[in-house]
């Protein structure tokens, strides 16, 4: 699929199509069963042109299983997210108390999952495939363009959000949930410090439910992305 948005913002990587499936492509890059790995690393590899995948069998990270919609958080993880004290691992201290962490956990959406999630560079997407979301990994200038485009054809001004969560939940679960619900909200993600080590320090994610991506893609030619202010700014990208 040829992406007009990617061209307009001078993206030097590929937007990533997020596809729920029961069949993983034969040569998709995956973690080995029983070996821990961060889902965000596979997302980043897909942006560089590799087809990658996560399945229920190859996803060992509890947060990753949540972020892909495979299962809810395990019991007691509110302590790991906050002050620790339960189990061998030190707490992350991302929430002040276990109670606040528990409130976050209960707010995380659940989706209808399949056996796997495939991350496919958008230029390799086949016509018959319908993703749940498209994820862009972008710098600050490119992010400004995507935020502006997400509000370009809307009467409201709150069509982009940043929500607390694991990096995979921000980049994947939230937009997949919005696609299921028919919502057109876009999500800025990868603000999770634990996931940042898997991504270039200059990048954040911008995730778009697929139906909304198609709408935004159709708006590029008549928008600010073809006008002087953006064209001048984009010269430094």
Q: How many domains does the chain have?
A: 2
Contact 51, 120 (CB under 8 A): yes
pTM: 0.96
The answer on 161 and 46 residing in a single domain is yes
Can you name the residues that pair with 55 across neighbouring β-strands? 116
CB contact set of 159 (below 8 Å; sequence gap of 6+) = 150, 151, 184, 185, 186
Here the tokens at position 9 are 């913002």
The answer on 229 and 165 residing in a single domain is yes
The answer on 196 and 94 residing in a single domain is no
The answer on 24 and 61 residing in a single domain is yes
pLDDT at 85: 79
pLDDT at 87: 67
Q: Percentages helix, strand, coil for the chain, rounded to the nearest 5?
A: 40, 15, 45
The answer on 83 and 43 residing in a single domain is no
pLDDT in tens, the chain (237 residues): 899 999 999 999 999 999 999 999 999 999 999 999 999 999 999 999 999 999 999 999 999 999 999 999 999 999 999 999 776 779 999 999 999 999 999 999 999 999 999 999 999 999 999 999 999 999 999 999 999 999 999 999 999 999 999 999 999 999 999 999 999 999 999 999 999 999 999 999 999 999 999 999 999 999 999 999 999 999 999
The answer on 79 and 17 residing in a single domain is no
The answer on 97 and 16 residing in a single domain is no
The answer on 220 and 130 residing in a single domain is yes
The answer on 181 and 97 residing in a single domain is no
CB contact set of 106 (below 8 Å; sequence gap of 6+) = none
The answer on 95 and 41 residing in a single domain is no
Q: Which domain holds residue 179?
A: 4-72+108-236
**Region of residue 44 (left: phi > 0; alpha: psi -120 to 50; beta: else):** alpha
The answer on 231 and 151 residing in a single domain is yes
The answer on 204 and 123 residing in a single domain is yes
At residue 154, φ and ψ (nearest 5 deg) are: -120, 140
pLDDT at 89: 76
């Amino acid at each position: 699929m040829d992406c007009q948005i990617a061209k307009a913002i001078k993206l030097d990587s590929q937007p990533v199509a997020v596809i729920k499936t029961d069949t993983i492509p034969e040569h998709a890059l995956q973690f080995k069963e029983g070996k821990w790995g961060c889902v965000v690393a596979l997302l980043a590899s897909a942006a560089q042109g590799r087809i990658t995948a996560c399945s229920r069998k190859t996803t060992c990270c509890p947060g990753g299983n949540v972020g892909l919609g495979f299962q809810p958080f395990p019991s007691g993880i509110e302590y790991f997210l906050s002050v620790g004290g339960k189990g061998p691992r030190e707490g992350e201290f991302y929430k002040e108390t276990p109670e606040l962490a528990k409130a976050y956990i209960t707010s995380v959406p659940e989706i209808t999952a399949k056996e796997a999630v495939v991350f496919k560079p958008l230029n390799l997407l086949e016509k018959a495939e319908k993703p749940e979301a498209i994820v862009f990994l972008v710098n600050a200038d490119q992010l400004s363009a995507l935020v502006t485009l997400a509000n370009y054809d809307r009467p409201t001004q709150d069509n982009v959000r940043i929500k607390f969560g694991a990096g995979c939940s921000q980049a994947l679960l939230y937009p997949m949930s919005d696609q299921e619900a028919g919502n057109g909200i876009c999500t800025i993600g990868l603000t999770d410090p634990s996931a940042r080590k898997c991504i270039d320090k200059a990048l954040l994610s911008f995730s778009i439910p697929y139906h909304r991506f198609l709408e935004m893609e159709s708006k590029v030619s008549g928008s600010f992305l073809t006008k002087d202010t953006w064209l001048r700014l984009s010269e430094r990208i």
